[in-house]
């Protein structure tokens, strides 16, 4: 390669690298307030569900998200082509916090071939016959893919904790159901996520933090607007009566399972536009930190490509 051309190529590469670093720093500053990787001092009341960092980007949010989705789509293609890392996104929240909406909007530009979404409802009879990690572990993303869990194994330290009768249905030997069971489940989850991290599965966990006032407003909206009636369940109101129990369970869960390799993001969820921007920025920042790139072509492969090109050009 000519020396001047070589200089131009290297210079361009360095400019791209600096731009990537600037973007990563910018995204990190935006998402850092919600990042929890050590839960020892975590308190849910320290996180404002209505926070927008003083920004009023409601009008611009659509375009900002559109640009973010375009970047995410490019990164996903490289993730898929490189076929080394897997990304697991876990979403947990109170009812009406907007999990479905966030997943639908943020991942709208991602190729379905490399992304799977799993929504975990009440466990089936078969699932109750296995250990509590079984039904989710069989749906983990393969290398090169993004897996999204809409609820997850964390339900086992949330719903099951708030409703002890569910634990009885799991038919665990009575001698193993002690006062330490929640601590033991936290330990099992941490060990499981540590194992996944060592296998190249990058984990990011989102708690969409909606306020009780905003939840009430969304419930009333579901009741008052005919096209939203299908979303409403009377069970939602019954669960709302246990708000304090769930808040306590969520706080304890994050306190015991926030780690550097599998951090939680406690995302303000009272303003959907802001929630989507935070989640999108987190996913983009995570993928950007992996130094993804399309695989380089070997000399032998280049020869094959040249031969194929000649065959196509010589066709009658």
Pairing of strands 146-150, 201-209: unpaired
Whether residue 12 is predicted with pLDDT greater than 50 in this model: the reply is no
pLDDT in tens, 27-38: 999 999 999 999
Whether residue 1 is predicted with pLDDT greater than 80 in this model: the reply is no
Query: What is the SS3 assignment for 24-76?
Result: HHHHHHHHHHHEECCCCCCCHHHCCCCCCCCCCCCCCHHHHHHHHHHHHHHHH
Torsion of CA 91, 96, 101, 107, to 10 degrees: 0
pTM of the model: 0.89
Please report the domains of the chain, with CATH numbers, ordered by start residue: 17-53+60-290 (3.40.50.300)
- What's the mean pLDDT when you consider all of the chain? 91
Percent over 70 (pLDDT), the chain: 93
The conformation of residue 173, written as its DSSP 8-state character, comes to: -
Residue with tokens 């601590």: 183
Nearest CA to 90 among 131, 134, 150, 49? 150
E-strand stretches of the chain:
35-36, 86-93, 115-119, 146-150, 201-209, 264-268
pLDDT in tens, 187-201: 999 999 999 999 999
């Amino acid at each position: 390669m000519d020396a001047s051309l070589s200089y131009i190529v290297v210079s361009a590469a360095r400019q791209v690298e600096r731009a990537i670093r600037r973007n990563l720093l910018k995204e990190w500053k935006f998402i850092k307030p919600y990042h929890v990787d050590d839960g020892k001092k975590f308190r849910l009341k320290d996180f404002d569900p209505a926070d927008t960092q003083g920004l009023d980007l409601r009008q611009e949010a659509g375009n900002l998200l559109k640009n973010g989705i375009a970047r995410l789509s490019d990164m996903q293609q490289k993730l898929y082509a490189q076929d080394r890392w897997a990304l697991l996104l876990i979403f947990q929240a109170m009812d009406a916090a907007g999990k479905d909406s966030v997943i639908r909007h943020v991942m709208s530009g991602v190729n379905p071939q490399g992304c799977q979404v799993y929504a975990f409802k009440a466990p089936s009879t078969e699932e109750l016959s296995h250990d509590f990690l079984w039904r989710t572990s069989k749906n983990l993303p393969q290398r090169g893919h993004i897996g999204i869990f809409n609820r997850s194994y964390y339900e086992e330290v949330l719903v099951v904790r708030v409703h002890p009768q569910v634990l009885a249905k799991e038919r665990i030997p009575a001698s193993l159901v002690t006062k330490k069971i929640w601590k033991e489940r936290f330990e099992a989850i941490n060990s499981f996520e540590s194992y996944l991290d060592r296998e190249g599965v990058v984990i990011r966990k989102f708690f969409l933090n909606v306020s009780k006032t905003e939840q009430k407003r969304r419930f009333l909206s579901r009741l008052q607007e005919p096209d939203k009636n299908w979303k409403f369940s009377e069970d939602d109101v019954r669960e709302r009566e246990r708000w304090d129990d769930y808040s306590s369970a969520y706080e304890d869960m994050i306190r015991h399972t926030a780690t550097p390799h599998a951090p939680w993001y406690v995302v303000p969820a009272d303003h959907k536009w802001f929630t989507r921007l935070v989640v999108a920025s987190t996913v983009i920042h995570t993928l950007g930190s992996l130094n993804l790139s399309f695989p380089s072509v070997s000399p032998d492969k280049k020869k094959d490509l040249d031969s194929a090109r000649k065959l196509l050009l010589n066709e009658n």
